[in-house]
Amino acid sequence: MSAIDVTSGLKPGQRAMAIPVDSLSGVGSLIQSGDFVDVMLSITDQPDPNKAPVVGEFRDPSGLPATKILDEWLNNTTIKVLVQNVQVLGTLLPAATTDPNSGQPTTAGGAIAILSVTPDQAEMVRFAQLDGNLYLLLRAPADATAPDVQTTGITLRELVDRHGVLPPRVIITKLP
């Protein structure tokens, strides 16, 4: 693999930062050197966001039905654009290998996008990488000098309250 020169594209005060991407988080692997991107964070601490919670019916001290709902069943997903308008200095594709069983060419690991970020942006992105998923949003070439857009981020509560999305329903069942 030949080395790519990322330092010549760095402006004073900028740092090169590697971000692992796949075909989904890297805009279908279309990101190229010279592109400008935004970095979006998607984070959730739910045990399994694809399953509706099932809660048992409980009785209070007087014998009346009461439903117990725990915080772990709340939707704690949040999405936010963290960093805007950063330049892609280069991309590294996964190394080509040969499958030992079939002898067919394969690729190992995902691609990497090298971004030009400030130290503050690097801290935010690295912190977000620890517990979340990052997605690169490819900007239009004419947006390279556009000012940042202030976004509010989004949660399920915001989708329900502001956009009329129906909230998931809790399924209540009697425990044996």
Summarised one tens digit per residue, pLDDT across range 26-58 is 888 788 999 999 999 998 865 554 555 555 555
Name the amino acid, one letter, at 17: M
What is the number of other CB atoms lying within 10 angstroms of the CB of residue 142? 7
Say if CB 116 and CB 126 are below 8 A apart: no
Token digits of residue 137: 């949003």
Say if CB 76 and CB 53 are below 8 A apart: no
Average pLDDT over residues 82-89: 94
Instruction: Quick: pLDDT tens for 109-162.
Output: 678 999 999 999 999 999 999 888 999 999 999 987 889 999 989 988 888 888
What mean pLDDT is reported for the chain? 80
